[in-house]
Chain A
Amino acid sequence: MKLSYNLGTTLLIILSFCLINPNLGISQMEENVPSVDVPEITALKVHPESLTLEHARDGRRIMVSGQTKDGKWVDVSTWAEVTAAPGIKIHEDGYIFPEEVGSSSITISVNNITTELPVTVKSIDAPPVSFVRDVMPVLSHAGCNNGTCHGGAKGKNGFKLSLRGYDPDFDYELLIEDITGRRFNRAFPEQSLMLLKPTSEVPHKGGQVIKPDSRDYKLIHQWISEGVVSDVGKIQRVERLEVFPESAELSMPGYKQQMLVIAHYADGSTRDVTREAKFTSSSIDVAKVTDDGVVTAERRGETAILTRYEGAYSTNGIIVMGDRSGFEWAETQVYNYIDTHVHNKLKRLKILPAELCTDEEFVRRIYFDMTGLPPTPEQVRNFLMDTTASKEKREKLIDSLVETTEYVDHWTHKWGDLLQSNRKFLGERGMWLFQQWLQDEIAENRPYNEFVYDLITATGSAYSNPAASYFRVSREYTAAVENTTQLFLGVRFSCNKCHDHPFEVWTQNQYYEVGAFFSDVQLKNGRLPGEEVVYTSYNSTPVKHPRTLAVVDASVPFGEIKDESKDKRTSFAEWLTSAENPMFAKAGVNRIWSYFMGRGIIEPVDDIRTSNPPSNPELLDALTKDFVENGFDIRHIMKTIAKSRTYQQSIKTNKWNKSDSINFSHATARRLTAEQLLDAIGVATGSQPKFQGVPKSFRAVQLPDSQVKDDGFLKLFGRPERESSCECERTTEVSLAHAMNLINGPTVADAIIDPNGRIAQLIKEEKDDRTLVEELYLATFARLPEKTEYATAVEFLGKAESKEEGAQDLMWALLNSPAFLFNR
Chain B
Amino acid sequence: MLSLPQAPGRLCDGFSRREFLRVGGAAMLGMSLPQVLSLQARASTTVDAAKPLNGWGKADSVILLFLQGGPSHIDIWDPKPDAPSNIRGEFNPIPTNVPGIQLSETMPKLAQQMDKACLIRSVSYTPAGLFNHTAAMYQMVTGDTPDKVAPSGQLDPPSPIDHPNAAAHISKFRPPEEPMLAAVQLPRPMQESGIIGKGGNAGYLGRAYDPYFLFQDPNKDINLDDLSLRPEVPPMRLQRRKTLLETINANMPEIDKVADSFALNEYYEKAYDLILSQKARNAFDLSQETNEMRDKYGRHTFGQSVLMARRLVEAGTRFVQVNWPSVANGNPNETAWDTHAANFGPLKNLHCPKLDSAVSSLLEDLDQRGMLENTLVLAIGEFGRSPRMGISTSGNGNAPDGRDHWPYCYTGLIAGAGVQGGQVYGKSDATGSTPLENPVDPRDILATVYHTLGIDPHTIVMNHLDQPRELVKGEVITGIF
Q: Which residues of A pack against B, CB within 8 Å? A: 20-26, 28-29, 61-62, 64, 77-83, 90, 92-94, 143, 146-148, 209, 256, 258, 278, 280, 284, 288-292, 294, 308, 492, 494-495, 604, 607, 650-652, 661, 669, 671, 715-716, 718, 720-721, 723-724, 726, 728-729, 731, 733-741, 743-746, 749, 753, 786, 788-789, 792, 796, 805, 809-810, 812-814, 816-819, 821-822, 824
Q: How far is the CA of A728 from the CA of B210 in the complex (A)?
A: 17
B125 within 8 Å of A by Cβ?
Answer: no
Cross-chain contact of B262 among A21, A80, A720, A734 (Cβ < 8 A)? A734
What B residues does A715 contact at CB under 8 A? 207
What A residues does B49 contact at CB under 8 A? none
Q: How far is the CA of A821 from the CA of B264 in the complex (A)?
A: 10
Q: How far is the CA of A805 from the CA of B234 in the complex (A)?
A: 12
Q: How far is the CA of A78 from the CA of B17 in the complex (A)?
A: 25
Asked if B6 contacts A290 (CB within 8 A), the reply is yes
Asked if B31 contacts A22 (CB within 8 A), the reply is yes
Q: How far is the CA of A255 from the CA of B15 in the complex (A)?
A: 22
What B residues does A805 contact at CB under 8 A? 237
Task: Contacts A80-B4, A143-B12, A817-B245 given; indicate if A494 touches B465 (C-beta within 8 A).
Answer: yes
Asked if A816 contacts B31 (CB within 8 A), the reply is no
Asked if B244 contacts A810 (CB within 8 A), the reply is yes
- Contact mask B231-271 → A, CB, 8 Å, 1/0? 01100011011001101110110111011011110011011
CB distance from B201 to the nearest CB of A (A): 11
CB distance from A53 to the nearest CB of B (A): 17
Asked if B467 contacts A23 (CB within 8 A), the reply is no
Q: Which residues of B pack against A, CB within 8 Å? A: 1-10, 12-15, 17-18, 20-22, 24-31, 35, 39, 42, 46, 159-161, 206-210, 225-226, 229-230, 232-233, 237-238, 240-241, 244-245, 247-249, 251-252, 254-256, 258-259, 261-264, 267-268, 270-272, 274-275, 464-468, 470
What B residues does A726 contact at CB under 8 A? 464-465
Asked if A816 contacts B245 (CB within 8 A), the reply is yes
What B residues does A724 contact at CB under 8 A? 160-161, 464
What A residues does B5 contact at CB under 8 A? 92-94, 292
What A residues does B248 contact at CB under 8 A? 789, 792, 813-814, 817, 819
Cross-chain contact of A25 among B17, B210, B237 (Cβ < 8 A)? B17
CB distance from B125 to the nearest CB of A (A): 13
Task: Contacts A280-B15, A288-B9, A734-B267 given; indicate if A82 touches B208 (C-beta within 8 A).
Answer: no
Task: Contacts A733-B206, A738-B267 given; indicate if A24 touches B255 (C-beta within 8 A).
Answer: no
Q: How far is the CA of A256 from the CA of B258 in the complex (A)?
A: 35
What A residues does B261 contact at CB under 8 A? 22, 669
Greatest chain A CB density within 10 A among B8, B233, B261, B464 is at B233
For B265, the closest partner residue in chain A by CB is A818
CB distance from A256 to the nearest CB of B (A): 8
Asked if B20 contacts A24 (CB within 8 A), the reply is yes
Q: Which 6 residue pairs spanning A and B have beta carbons closest together?
A: A22-B30, A735-B208, A739-B271, A813-B245, A669-B258, A94-B4
Task: Contacts A280-B15, A669-B258, A743-B268 given; indicate if A731 touches B3 (C-beta within 8 A).
Answer: no
For A80, the closest partner residue in chain B by CB is B4
CB distance from B405 to the nearest CB of A (A): 23
Q: How far is the CA of A278 from the CA of B12 in the complex (A)?
A: 10
Asked if A24 contacts B267 (CB within 8 A), the reply is no
Asked if A737 contacts B207 (CB within 8 A), the reply is yes
What B residues does A79 contact at CB under 8 A? 3
Task: Contacts A278-B13, A740-B275 given; indicate if A745 touches B226 (C-beta within 8 A).
Answer: yes
Task: Contacts A23-B30, A796-B244, A822-B258 given; indicate if A744 touches B226 (C-beta within 8 A).
Answer: yes
What A residues does B268 contact at CB under 8 A? 739, 743, 816
Cross-chain contact of B4 among A258, A728, A731 (Cβ < 8 A)? A258
What A residues does B159 contact at CB under 8 A? 721, 723
CB distance from A773 to the nearest CB of B (A): 11
Q: List 13 A-B contacts (CB under 8 A).
A: A22-B28, A77-B4, A280-B14, A292-B6, A718-B207, A731-B25, A733-B206, A786-B251, A792-B247, A816-B241, A817-B249, A818-B249, A821-B264
Task: Contacts A93-B5, A809-B240, A810-B244 given; indicate if A731 touches B207 (C-beta within 8 A).
Answer: yes
What B residues does A148 contact at CB under 8 A? 470
For A256, the closest partner residue in chain B by CB is B6
CB distance from B208 to the nearest CB of A (A): 3
Task: Contacts A25-B39, A723-B159, A818-B249 given; indicate if A718 touches B7 (C-beta within 8 A).
Answer: no
Asked if B14 contacts A278 (CB within 8 A), the reply is yes
For A502, the closest partner residue in chain B by CB is B14
Q: How far is the CA of A824 from the CA of B255 in the complex (A)?
A: 8
Task: Contacts A734-B267, A786-B251, A818-B249 given; indicate if A25 touches B21 (C-beta within 8 A).
Answer: yes
Asked if B7 contacts A291 (CB within 8 A), the reply is yes
Asked if A20 contacts B1 (CB within 8 A), the reply is no
Asked if A284 contacts B20 (CB within 8 A), the reply is yes
For A749, the closest partner residue in chain B by CB is B230
Task: Contacts A291-B10, A753-B232 given; indicate if A729 touches B258 (C-beta within 8 A).
Answer: no
CB distance from B50 to the nearest CB of A (A): 13
For B246, the closest partner residue in chain A by CB is A813
CB distance from B153 to the nearest CB of A (A): 20
CB distance from A809 to the nearest CB of B (A): 5
Asked if B9 contacts A146 (CB within 8 A), the reply is no
What A residues does B263 contact at CB under 8 A? 734
Asked if A819 contacts B160 (CB within 8 A), the reply is no
Asked if A24 contacts B275 (CB within 8 A), the reply is no
CB distance from A115 to the nearest CB of B (A): 15
Q: How far is the CA of A716 from the CA of B256 in the complex (A)?
A: 23
What A residues does B161 contact at CB under 8 A? 723-724, 729
Task: Contacts A288-B9, A789-B251, A813-B244 given; indicate if A818 touches B1 (C-beta within 8 A).
Answer: no
Task: Contacts A739-B270, A749-B230, A786-B251 given; indicate if A78 touches B7 (C-beta within 8 A).
Answer: no
Task: Contacts A82-B3, A743-B272 given; indicate if A818 touches B258 (C-beta within 8 A).
Answer: yes
Cross-chain contact of A788 among B35, B46, B251, B262 (Cβ < 8 A)? B251
Q: How far is the CA of A639 from the CA of B27 in the complex (A)?
A: 30
CB distance from A664 to the nearest CB of B (A): 15
What A residues does B4 contact at CB under 8 A? 61-62, 64, 77-78, 80, 82, 94, 258
Task: Contacts A729-B160, A792-B247 given; indicate if A744 touches B229 (C-beta within 8 A).
Answer: yes
What B residues does A814 contact at CB under 8 A? 248
Asked if A809 contacts B2 (CB within 8 A), the reply is no
CB distance from A582 to the nearest CB of B (A): 23
Q: How far is the CA of A746 from the CA of B5 in the complex (A)?
A: 64
What A residues does B6 contact at CB under 8 A? 78, 256, 290, 292, 294
For B260, the closest partner residue in chain A by CB is A818
For B270, the closest partner residue in chain A by CB is A736
Q: How far is the CA of A745 from the CA of B238 in the complex (A)?
A: 13
Asked if A809 contacts B207 (CB within 8 A), the reply is no
Cross-chain contact of B275 among A64, A651, A728, A743 (Cβ < 8 A)? A743
Asked if A24 contacts B258 (CB within 8 A), the reply is no
Q: A22-B261, A735-B208, A792-B251 are in contact. List 15 more A-B contacts (CB 8 A).
A: A22-B30, A79-B3, A82-B4, A148-B470, A278-B13, A290-B10, A651-B255, A669-B255, A721-B159, A731-B207, A737-B210, A743-B271, A744-B226, A796-B244, A818-B262
Asked if A492 contacts B7 (CB within 8 A), the reply is no
CB distance from B154 to the nearest CB of A (A): 16
Q: How far is the CA of A93 from the CA of B10 in the complex (A)?
A: 16
What A residues does B262 contact at CB under 8 A? 671, 733-734, 818
What A residues does B251 contact at CB under 8 A? 786, 788-789, 792
What B residues does A819 contact at CB under 8 A? 248-249, 252, 255
What B residues does A93 contact at CB under 8 A? 5, 7
What B residues does A735 contact at CB under 8 A? 208-209, 267
Q: How far is the CA of A818 from the CA of B24 in the complex (A)?
A: 19
Q: How far is the CA of A726 from the CA of B17 in the complex (A)?
A: 26
For B245, the closest partner residue in chain A by CB is A813
What B residues does A818 contact at CB under 8 A? 249, 255-256, 258-259, 262, 264
What A residues does B249 contact at CB under 8 A? 817-819
CB distance from B243 to the nearest CB of A (A): 9
